Structure 1
Amino acid sequence: MSEAAERLAEVRANIANAAQRAQRPAGDIQLIAVSKTHDMQAIRPLIAAGQRHFGENRVQEAAAKWPDLRAETPDVVLHLIGQLQSNKAGEAVGLFDAIHSVDRSSLIQAIARACEKTGKRPQLFIQVNIGDEEQKGGCATGDLPALLAEANDAGLAIDGLMAIPPADIEPAPYFALLDELAERHGLRLRSMGMSSDYETAVMLGATHVRVGTALFGSRR
């Protein structure tokens, strides 16, 4: 096995073990390989090993890499997991299959216009600022109901919630809160968990885990 295949197999095994402990089907959890800052040469071995879902932080970086990679492997699914500027919404809707960082009214309106114009309907997650951190993206927990209502009025289907817990703090309570919020609002998907805590996230309801370092090694 290649090094990439070994890393992928290890992460998938960890997800399956965590799912088993939580009495969940491992197939309910989607592994997103976070390929931000990694070039095509680093990404191709993971594609060759069978990974199909990838996450990028920036529209411009993704646009430089993924058209060629998707020409080689058309069934790749691309997720935008970083902050999105409203003026980039049209490009994002055209490029990504899922957007995890919907977090404000202006972005909802921009995405709705882009969807109407292009006919594309990416899977959408509202990002919640689960730790109430000033420097972090995401809507405030208290603003979530209004944002969901606005998305509905704009004709957008919101499929789930996304969150990034505060760094260097036990993430479990934050994962549990996001799971509870999703349940309360009838949303089936929870995008939470990264390389350091994805197993905990799986045990607390994650449907999408965003793993970079454990698959690619340290960021360049």
Structure 2
Amino acid sequence: MTDPATRLSEIQSRIASAKRIARRTDEDVTLVAVSKTHAAEAIEPLILAGQHVFGENRVQEAQEKWPALRERHVGIELHLVGQLQSNKADDAVALFDCIHSLDRPSLIGALARAMDRADRRVPCFVQVNIGAEEQKGGCAIADLPALLAEARGADLPVIGLMCVPPLGIEPAPFFALLDKLARDNGLAGRSMGMSDDFETAIMLGATHVRVGSALFGARG
């Protein structure tokens, strides 16, 4: 693997190129560096190279490594990109700046109560089970309007939709569908695209791409 600064520069260049092809040059695309399973020693070089938005899959793992990193580096923005258990809602609200995996009514209630207790509103993406896969989390497409209405009624700041397309299938139709669902529901954010397909996602409207292995290499 090349050094972290070079890898980051390459990904940023590819993001910029995809935006130009899609004629989105004036729109922001946030690169979320997914640091799950990687130790602080692997994360810090990317921070020093200029990356300040990171994603973690598990609350407990993030609690173990990010407080110390945030003491050493200001301006870090931390996103939860994995499934969230309702009993971890208070911890998630305290630690994360954005949650990408709101997907069920029970979690709406848990997060609303946690945000009220913390007096802090954390932006959320509703995760959509875009491929209707039984083994994956996410709200069913048919249930999305009701879930959004409930989240808005609970004063959760829902800023967009998130998806993980089925593995091994061309992702473009799924990204296009998420883009349409977001537009139909008046949402600006689209969290979609990972290391193998983020350029396709950007050309189909992604505002946040979640890139791990292309930045960090194999999982730690």
TM-score by length of 1: 0.98
Q: How does 1:20-169 map to 2 (within 5 A)?
A: 20-25=20-25, 28-169=28-169
Alpha-carbon deviation of 1:155?
Answer: 1.2
* Contact preservation (8 Å) 2:122, 2:157: no
The Cα of 1:120 is off from its aligned counterpart by 1.2
- Select between 152-161 and 100-109 the one with higher mean Cα deviation: 152-161
Write the letter of the residue equivalent to 2:155. Answer: G
The Cα of 1:26 is off from its aligned counterpart by 6.2
C-alpha separation in 1, matches of 2:211 and 2:219: 12
Aligned counterparts of 1:205 and 1:27: Cα–Cα separation in 2 = 10
Report the identity percentage. 63
What letter corresponds to residue 131 of structure 2 in structure 1?
G
Structure 1 pair 26–37 and aligned structure 2 pair: CA distance change class (3 A) = farther
Q: Whole-Å Cα distance in 1 between the matches of residues 152 and 44 of structure 2?
A: 38
* Contact map agreement 2:123 2:156 (CA 8 A) in 1: no
Consecutive unaligned residues of structure 2, counting only runs of 5 or more, are none
Change (3 A) 1:21 1:194: same
Cα deviation 1:163-191 (Å, max 9, x = unaligned): 00000000000000000000000000000
**Cα drift, residue 27 of structure 1:** 5.0
Q: For 1:159, what is the secondary structure of its paired residue?
A: strand
Partner amino acid for 1:89?
A: A
8 Å Cα contact 1:182/1:190 also seen in 2: yes
8 Å contact kept, 1:103–1:139: yes
Task: Give the paired residue count.
Answer: 219
The Cα of 1:59 is off from its aligned counterpart by 0.1
5+ residue gaps, structure 1 = none
Asked whether the equivalents of residues 63 and 95 of structure 1 are also in contact (C-alpha less than 8 Å), the reply is yes
Q: Distance in 1 between matches of 2:25 and 2:190?
A: 15
Kept after mapping to 2: 8 A contact 1:15/1:26: no
CA distance in 2, matches of 1:28, 1:76: 18
- Structure 1 residues 38 and 179: alpha-carbon distance in aligned structure 2, compared to 1, 3 A threshold: same
Alpha-carbon RMSD: 0.9
